[in-house]
Amino acid sequence: MNNFEFCNPAKIIFGKGTENQVGKLVKKCGGSKILLHYGGSSIKKNGLYDSVVKSLKDSGLFFLELGGVQPNPRLSLVRKGIELCKENDIDFILAVGGGSVIDSAKGIAAAMKNEKDIWDYYMFHPDEVIDALPIGVVLTIPAAGSETSDGSVITNEDGNYKRHIGSNCLIPKFAILNPEVTFTLPEYQTACGASDILAHLMERYFTQVSNVDLTDRLIEASIRSILFNAPLALKDPQNYDIRAEIMWAGTLAHNNLLDTGRVGDWASHEIEHELSGIYDIAHGAGLSIVFPAWMKYVYRENIDKFVQFAIRVFDVDYSFDNKERIVIEMINRLEKWYKEMGLPTRLSDAGINDDKLVEMSKKALEGRLSLGNFKKLQSADVHEILKLAL
């Protein structure tokens, strides 16, 4: 186990009706002029928007609105938010939505407190963000984990680059998690969210650091919970207890607790960013395509880790006559789960052919020496993984 420091100051307010506390929470964090940031019309249809606005007004808070965040959030809207904040002396950003809304809010918040153009940080200096406006979150989609994470991912429409920044100053001050607001999520969105959570856990699991059994077992338990509960949510979408399990798992998967003492991989995420950056597919759907292909390409780098995962998570037993067969059976079971959730496992399932494989392989390494940590990948490796995903 490696040395580590862990601190996540985000306050979690979990449960029914908790969105009604948002005004008091913003005020307690020192917010007085708020940018209310959200996506489309879903929060207005389910009543969440009205509850949030009422709470802000009851607390006597001034706020401006900026909606229109899209999946794979766009740099252009981040720039619009920056101008709004500058023109109106905004001192707090409230994100009401899923990971795309939160990531967009973080981009705006970071731009207000750092000298360089915000895209320079995403493209070239992802670890150099030193300060940001405070952020609060009302979560609507359990998936990205951005509600308590230190990261943000944005897509630049100019060139279709999708890149990230990361800094403790981007961790939201609070996150309101009410599973009730997820009852009306479409099935595909629920499935994509579960895939994203699963990927965050697997990115952390596949490490070359030894003697991390505690976090191994925490990750395994979290993965098993998603594998069990996500299909149930498709069958019984208004079951509070099922939705609560998924929502809490999504937060724990990405708040850095499960990073402690280990080094995760993250190549699958970076490769997927090329897919969703160019083809604008859902992030979770891209991950269900990339992750099995990545596994097939790298498992020999530490086959014992994959065997452990296969046995503990997917209940593959020793009746298979060698380690490779155990791993392949695990990958087959993972792909079967994705398919049962209605997710793609091949590029062709998403209508993507081999036209841009070389382009994506090259772009993935722009500004980087390599991708991943379980196995250090170059453009040629990315190209082979994408070919396995066809």
Q: How many other C-beta atoms can be found within 10 angstroms of the C-beta atom of residue 130?
A: 12
By the 8 A CB rule, do 323 and 304 touch?
yes
What angle (nearest 5°) sits at the alpha carbon of residue 20, between those of residues 187 and 166? 65
Q: Are residues 196 and 78 in the same domain?
A: no
pLDDT in tens, 59-101: 999 999 999 999 999 999 999 999 999 999 999 999 999 999 9
Q: What is the pLDDT of residue 41?
A: 87
How many domains does the chain contain in total? 2
Domain's final residue, options 162, 181, 200: 181
User: Structure pTM?
Assistant: 0.95
The CA-CA-CA angle for residues 264, 267, 269, to 5°, reads: 100
Alpha-carbon gap, residue 350 to 265, rounded angstroms: 25
For residue 377, the enclosing domain spans 185-388
**Helices 303-314 & 323-340 angle (0-180, nearest 10):** 50
CA distance 373 to 364: 15
Q: How high is the pLDDT of residue 194? A: 98
Q: Mind listing the pLDDT tens digit for each residue in 289-342?
A: 999 999 999 999 999 999 999 999 999 987 777 999 999 999 999 999 999 999
Q: What is the pLDDT of residues 174-198, one digit of tens each?
A: 999 999 999 999 999 999 999 999 9
- Shared domain check, 166 and 57: yes
Please provide the size of the chain in residues.
390
> Within this chain, do residues 158 and 191 fall inside the same structural domain, yes or no?
no
Choosing from 163, 181, 199, the residue where a domain stops is: 181
| Residue of 268, 275, 235 lying closest to 71 (CA atoms) | 275
Q: Are residues 46 and 193 in the same domain?
A: no
CB 135 within 8 A of CB 173: yes
Q: How far apart are CA 143 and CA 71, in angstroms?
A: 12
Same domain, 276 and 201: yes
CATH code (residue 298) = 1.20.1090.10
Shared-domain flag, residues 161 and 216? no
Asked whether residue 197 falls in the same domain as residue 129, the answer is no
User: Do 152 and 225 have their domain in common?
Assistant: no
Which tokens in the block code for residue 374? 């379980």
What CATH number did the domain enclosing 58 receive?
3.40.50.1970
Which pLDDT belongs to residue 318?
76
Q: Are residues 175 and 196 in the same domain?
A: no
| Mean pLDDT score of the chain | 97
Gap between the Cα atoms of 257 and 247, Å rounded: 16
